[in-house]
Amino acid sequence: MFRARAGNCGMQISVAIITISDRASRGEYEDLGGPALRKASEERGWKVAVETLVPDEKPDIQRAIREAINRGANLVLTTGGTGVARRDVTPEAVMEIADRGLPGFGEAMRMRSLELTPNAILSRSLAAAVGKSLVICLPGKPQGAVDCLGFVAGAIPHCVKVLAEVPTSC
């Protein structure tokens, strides 16, 4: 799953994209967030290995994350369910299966997003380590998801490498 790159001991980042939406999972509207994250991931040279769509239900979210990790994803990007609505349960679902939270990701996403919209203060975007994988919960709006991914993208390769326990001396 990990592919060394000549000279820099780099890793191939294998991405899973999980769209979390009741309406999109019922076919009431087209998922735009997943495809937007796919494009943003591929532009960074990451390999999108898994894409799925689930409703705003904790067990479905947790199952999708575990399945993605079992299929080799070392980076799981979720889009949706990070707001303040009653059905927005993505952060809770992730933290219930997380080994540890990584609060700097959410802090950076909110801080940078506040420069774009005052509603960013309502975001509950976050990141966590689940096993040897990094899970990042992004907003449901496609542009918000892509923007927030961009705000933290610089830290992702190092975090994925550390979680995978790749020797830092290589």
Average pLDDT for 131-160: 97
State the pLDDT at residue 7.
Answer: 36
Q: In this structure, what token pair is assigned to residue 161? A: 């490498």
Provide the residue ranges of all domains of the chain, joining segments of one domain with +. Answer: 14-163
Domain 14-163 homologous superfamily, CATH: MoaB/Mog-like domain (3.40.980.10)
State the pLDDT at residue 166.
Answer: 79
Buried b (16+ CB within 10 A) or exposed e, 54-77: bbbbeebbbebbeebbeeebbbbb
96 C-beta neighbours (distance < 10 Å), count: 12
Q: Residue 51: which of 34, 72, 31 has the closest Cα?
A: 34
Report the share of the chain in percent with pLDDT over 90: 90
The DSSP element (H or E) to which 127 belongs, if any, is strand 126-130
State the pLDDT at residue 3.
Answer: 38
Distance CA 11, CA 32 (A): 28
pLDDT in tens, 30-62: 999 999 999 999 999 999 999 999 999 999 999
Distance CA 97, CA 113 (A): 27
Q: In this structure, what token pair is assigned to residue 96? A: 């219930």
151 touches 116 (CB < 8 A): no
State the pLDDT at residue 169.
Answer: 57
State the pLDDT at residue 2.
Answer: 35
Q: How confident is the model at residue 10 (pLDDT cuts 50, 70, 90)?
A: low
State the pLDDT at residue 92.
Answer: 98
The DSSP element (H or E) to which 55 belongs, if any, is none
113 C-beta neighbours (distance < 10 Å), count: 21
pLDDT in tens, 81-128: 999 999 999 999 999 999 999 999 999 999 999 999 999 999 999 999
- From its phi and psi, is residue 72 left (phi > 0), alpha (psi between -120 and 50) or beta? left
Q: In this structure, what token pair is assigned to residue 169? A: 């001396």
Distance CA 166, CA 170 (A): 8
